[in-house]
Amino acid sequence: MEIEERTSLILTIVFAIILLGGIFYLGYFFGQKKVKISLLESKMLENWMVFAKGEVREISGRDLILTANGENLKISVSEKAVVQSLNTKTGEIKRASFEDVKVGSKLEVQVKVEPKERTLTAYLINILF
C-alpha cells in the first residue's frame, strides 16, 4: 500500500506542476497580446532619433525624397541641420551645406521621428562619397 500511495502522490505532484505551468504560460501568452500597441500611437514616446540611408530622388525647398530598396521617404530638413560630407573609405569628414545635396547624392540622415505629427525632420546629413 505504501508504494501505491507514493506513486499516487508523485503523480499528483507532477500533474499539479504541469497544470500550474500551463496556467502560467497561458496567462503570460494572453497578457502579452494585450500589451502590443503601435509604437507610433504610444503617448509615452514623444520623439525618436533614427538614421535613414538612401539616394536623393527629389529636392523641393528643404524637403528631400530619399529612396532605397524601392521605398521613398519624405524628410524635412531643419534650418539647424548639420550637413557634412563623409568619405566612406577614409572616414574623413568635411563641413558642407544643404546646397551641396543634389539629386542622386547618397545620404545618411539622422532624423527625428515625431509620431504625433507623423513627420521626419533631419538634423544631421552625411553626404556619402
- The pLDDT tens digits for 8-35 are 888 888 887 887 777 776 665 555 544 4
- Whether 16 and 74 share a structural domain: no
Residue 72 in contact with residue 65, Cβ under 8 Å?
A: yes
CATH number for 114: 2.40.50.140
pLDDT for 123: 96
Question: How would DSSP label each residue in 78-112?
Answer: EEEEEEEEE-TTT--EEE--GGG--TT-EEEEEEE
- The pLDDT tens digits for 61-115 are 999 999 999 999 999 999 999 999 999 999 999 999 999 999 999 999 999 987 7
pLDDT for 54: 97
Alpha-carbon dihedral angle through residues 6, 10, 12, 18, given to the nearest 10 degrees? 180
- Whether 13 and 69 share a structural domain: no
CA distances (Å), origin 28, targets 8, 15, 23, 34, 60: 30, 20, 9, 10, 50
- Whether 32 and 91 share a structural domain: no
Q: Which residue has the cell 524637403?
A: 63
Residue 113 lies in a domain: yes
